[in-house]
Structure 1
């Protein structure tokens, strides 16, 4: 191994570590700056959970998908409650880190329109409608692009839009279902419409069984089944197994998730 090659590998590893530390510091900063009221979790692993962020409050989620010892993907979601059933936010997703690359840890999609854009920055918006004490629905969209022609990639506008229906007969028991519609910038090759499914069920006072599914044979078509540990009223730690849909070409992996609430989740179950 030449000295220059060794130097590039060391630089790549240090760069990846720096990004991970930066995300951790951002998470801790948000935890310190937020202030209390009452609610629950806004996302399952990969689909919206159908929970409204209270007016003037924040919700932050960091997710890392691990496909191997040196192959990671990072996703970040920040949501702000606007009131009257509205919330808005920012997503920074598809941050791929492949430490097997020589001097190119953060892979970008330059010209292949059959693959999702990466990295991808999106503005998000969602409107909620309460139909009964146990049934609600929401309409949402995530619209964005790959930022500033990063890495020489061609910049394209892309979206992911959805309608979810949530049945929640009691606190932390819910079933989520609804259609989605998107494009190749988000999904890559394959179907552009499909079905979102998810569920949450408590197995103890501090642990929830949680899973979700995105139908189809595109880059998002996976299932995740795992656990959500309610560490505090503001901190949730999740771990799940990522299973690709048959024929999608996606990879199996492990999902780690950190949820930070800018308010106290209500242990008694009075979310609203």
Structure 2
């Protein structure tokens, strides 16, 4: 079985096992899931030695609210040997995998501008109770819509803790964009400031397979003094489905 086939199989297996908040690549997109609808996003980061999975399940509550569940940091090392990703020692960096609940609220300022506030909070999945630590990620963003609301620029701030992002800053800025090129194709990218484990830029694009399915891909570029390596980012978005 070649490397590509192994990667595709792992993507499907991990997707079925995991459930986050709606993102561009690494920052909130500013979208709110429609009332009584479901959004699912699965992201796979491919590095030279490992596959890292992030998954997001969101449910729309109406009136600008949505809630969800995230599973972050699930995956495997394949070099030098195959093993599951796992860290429950904060002295070695960010903890993973982490299961988090999410909630987000949007305030529509006018037809071009929205403001969102959200939080994600939960615990790392350690088999030892004493190794479980509280992880959180709080944010506020502004979203500017243009080109008849088909494109956007997103910017804001975040506050987190070192359990979630490892050594480095716990407060910073983030910015992203989604620009329509055609009915099917969009340019997309984002950047997180700082020197922590989440401080990277991703530059890529999105393809609309249909009204409810999108595929995204990008190249991850870490900030200076950031522990994350360069890598390929793949993302699958499934939106607009009824929960039942």
TM-score normalised to the size of structure 1? 0.80
Question: Could you tell me which residue of structure 2 aligns to residue 80 of structure 1?
Answer: 59
Q: 2:84 aligns with which of 79, 83, 106?
A: 106
User: How far does residue 16 in structure 1 lie from its aligned partner after superposition?
Assistant: 9.1
**Structure 1 segment 43-58 matched on structure 2, within 5 A:** 43-58=23-38
1:114 and 1:184 in contact (8 A); partners too: no
Q: Give 3-state SS (helix, strand or coil) of 1:150's partner.
A: coil
Question: Could you tell me which residue of structure 2 aligns to residue 97 of structure 1?
Answer: 76
Q: Give 3-state SS (helix, strand or coil) of 1:22's partner.
A: helix
CA distance in 2, matches of 1:230, 1:218: 32
Question: Could you tell me which residue of structure 2 aligns to residue 211 of structure 1?
Answer: 189
Larger Rg: 1
Which digits, 9 at most, give the CA deviation of each residue in 1:55-108, with x for residues without a partner? 00010000000012x5110000000001111100000011131012546x1131
Q: Which residues of structure 1 form unaligned runs of 5+?
A: 1-14, 31-40, 265-272
CA distance in 2, matches of 1:111, 1:42: 28
**Structure 1 segment 14-93 matched on structure 2, within 5 A:** 20-25=11-16, 42-68=22-48, 70-93=49-72
2:11 and 2:44 in contact (8 A); partners too: no
TM-score normalised to the size of structure 2? 0.89
Q: 1:157 aligns with which of 134, 137, 148?
A: 134
CA distance in 2, matches of 1:153, 1:261: 38
2:143 and 2:153 in contact (8 A); partners too: yes
2:98 and 2:123 in contact (8 A); partners too: yes
CA distance in 1, matches of 2:134, 2:23: 24
Q: Give 3-state SS (helix, strand or coil) of 1:204's partner.
A: coil
Backbone CA RMSD of aligned residues: 2.5
**Structure (1 or 2) with the greater strand fraction:** 2
**Structure 1 segment 160-199 matched on structure 2, within 5 A:** 160-169=137-146, 170-199=148-177
**Structure (1 or 2) with the greater helix fraction:** 1
**2:240 matched to 1:240?**
no
**Structure 1 segment 129-144 matched on structure 2, within 5 A:** 129-144=107-122
Q: Give 3-state SS (helix, strand or coil) of 1:132's partner.
A: coil
Give the direction of change, closer, same or farther, for the CA distance of 1:231–1:86 in structure 2 (3 Å limit).
same
Q: Which residues of structure 2 form unaligned runs of 5+?
A: 1-5
How many residue pairs are counted as aligned between the two chains? 235
**2:108 matched to 1:117?**
no
CA distance in 2, matches of 1:141, 1:151: 26
1:89 and 1:124 in contact (8 A); partners too: yes
2:46 and 2:233 in contact (8 A); partners too: yes
